[in-house]
A and B are shown apart, each in its own frame.
Chain A
Amino acid sequence: MKLISKTLIYYLLVSLPLLIIAGLLSYFLINSELKDGTDETLMNEKINAERLIQSLKEPKSIYLSSDSLSNIKLISGAELNDGFIDTLIYNREESENVGARMLRSYYTVNGNTYQITLLKTTMEEEELLEGILATFAIIVGFLIVSFAIVNWLLSKTLWKPFYSTLSELNKYEIQNHEQHHFNEVNTLEFNQLNIALNKMMDKIYSDYQEQKEFTENASHEMQTPLAVIKANLSLLMQSDNLKEDEMNRLQTIENTIKKLASLNKALILLSKIENNQFKESESISIKQFTSKIADNYIDLFQSKNIGLELNLSEDVIVKMNPTLAEILLTNLIQNAIRHNSENGKIIIELKQNQLTISNSGKPLTIPKDHLFIRFKKNDASKDSLGLGLSIVNGIAKTYGFKINYDYSSSLHHFQVNFN
């Protein structure tokens, strides 16, 4: 829920009970004021009635109103106490009982006692309530509208720095750290927020940078020890009196070192790509590169009995680093060879700025978004490092290419969109 809507709701939640209390109060106040007013009027009329009685030449009863409810009656009996009574009278026009205030008073002139009955219909409580409710409903309506307008204005003006910070945050990519900065604003809190964000981002960036350099340096440092092991292994292999068992062990060690060396090399490559160390770029014909690389693997296609279908109809010219272009295509083709099925096939198609490399093979056993993550391997038994596609992904990211994976009709499809 938007902050504005939330504040609006809170305002209303607070103001509604207040309004209800105010409504009740005004109801009671108005009600009693009205009663007092009626009573005063009745008292004045009583005085008028008494004057009327005094002016009578002979004692008699008089009707004071057309409905004969207010009257002066000559009674035989003692004078009683005056008193106000709330009562209901039947209204013929509206055919309902309406509230009325009645003053009954006694007046004795010349030994004749008169009973004065004065009636005044009062405003019905229901009507009063309705009136008050209507008033308050209008007030609430005005409140909501004005809150909404004020909030909207506030968010347009006061909250503006916040929203611009938010959109800057959304755009943030650590690779383009230098392009992002949270500017100074003149609202204290938002300024503090921006300062804190700048500080945090700088820290994250420098940690990230350090981490990246660490990977590269660590891998470099490992090269020399690996070279030492490899060299000594070569020398050891020259021994004349090695037993079969020992030779097998040497072979195992050599294979492992080879794997370690490849792993190291791939890691260095990956961090170099991420560190943007391949700066030079030139116009690359994807068609030329692809067919050249596919050519390099003819031996392999034949030995694995993989059928290759090259369909490079529309060339794509891309501005990129030639080494990276070669690695990108090589890794994709290698991947298609490595994860192919027996007597399988590879289809390479280039059209509409899109290169699709498809190979036969069993469906993935891992979620497809794991494909491009380092060391996530589909088939652990296969002799792969689990870095090839991460490198592909890294290169694609560098140049803003889109990579898609899809599996259909027993074929894995890797698509590179060069747009």
Chain B
Amino acid sequence: MKILLIEDEPELRKSIKQYLHQEGYVVESAADFVKASEKAGVYDYDCILVDITLPKGSGLDIIKQLKENGSKAGIIIISAKNSSSDKIKGLDLGADDYLAKPFDLAELNSRIKALIRRRNFDGNKSIVVNEITIIPEQRQVNVNNELVTLTAKEYDLLLFFISNKNRVVSKNTIAEHLWGDDSDQMDSHDFIYVHLRNLRKKLMDKGCADYVQTIYGIGYNFKVNG
């Protein structure tokens, strides 16, 4: 799985690269418009992460270029400008998703996974983690081939965990994923705890192992061995 990361801030580039590398992706990066345009023109990528404000040009033009060349890559815009007009412009040009800075790496990761799933797994529509099978199109979860009925939040929580399995995800990151902008409104940590407790119970009732580890002080780790 090959990803092109177009981002001019070196530290951010380094961190994203490292995180995605740990996920098993091959990550190439470009720091400015010219290099990005070059790479995007020459190689094929599964997913391209593009910052809009770049030295020597606009990320939007790279999206245009990719689409003109008939690229099949999924495109996620990562921008410091959380403006709806940029978002609409980008999505109109053919970008698949838009993520405003500052974002969580876990969130970025789950967006990439969702995008790749939508793009590539047309034949294979389910995610399998040991005894858990998720069919995202139907928002359906089976454990040991038995249907588990989850609420929308519980489902999102499980999918987020599985997208970031074997990773420590903080409660804040989870809250932001589940409630978006409203997450600062919540006594979110208690709230996540309630959803997580219900999710765990429902999964374990069907004979699922307890994968969720509590990382004291920070959050959780959905630990799957092997």
Contacts and interface: CB of A to CB of B under 8 A. Distances in A.
Interface of A: 220-221, 223-224, 226-232, 234-235, 237-238, 244, 247-248, 250-251, 254-255, 257-259, 261-262, 265, 268, 272, 277, 296-297, 299-300, 303-304, 323, 330, 334, 337-338, 383, 385
Interface in B157-203: 167-168, 170, 172-173, 176, 181-182, 184-187, 190-191, 194
Contacts of A227: 9, 12, 80, 101-103
B120 interface: no
Nearest to A263: B184
Given A238-B168, A257-B102, A231 B218 contact: no
A155 B16 CA distance: 73
B217 interface: yes
Contact of B102 (A221, A226, A237, A248): A226
Per DSSP, are chain A's interface residues mostly helix, strand or loop, or mixed?
helix
Contacts of B137: none
A231 B182 contact: no
A303 B191 contact: yes
Interface stretch (B61-69, B81-89, B121-129): B81-89
Nearest to A383: B184
B58 to A, nearest CB: 15
A258 B216 contact: no
Interface residues of B, number: 41
Contacts of A385: 184
Given A228-B9, A303-B191, A234 B104 contact: yes
B76 to A, nearest CB: 14
B148 interface: no
A331 B130 CA distance: 43
B80 A223 contact: yes
B104 A230 contact: yes
B140 interface: no
Contacts of B100: 223
Question: What 3 A-B pairs have minimum CB-CB distances, sorted nearest first?
Answer: A231-B15, A227-B102, A247-B217
A235 B23 CA distance: 12
Contacts of B167: 238
Contacts of B176: 258
28 contacts: A220-B80, A221-B80, A224-B9, A227-B12, A227-B101, A227-B102, A228-B9, A228-B12, A228-B15, A229-B102, A230-B104, A231-B19, A231-B105, A234-B15, A234-B104, A235-B15, A237-B168, A238-B167, A244-B216, A247-B218, A250-B218, A251-B170, A296-B182, A299-B153, A299-B191, A300-B191, A303-B187, A323-B84
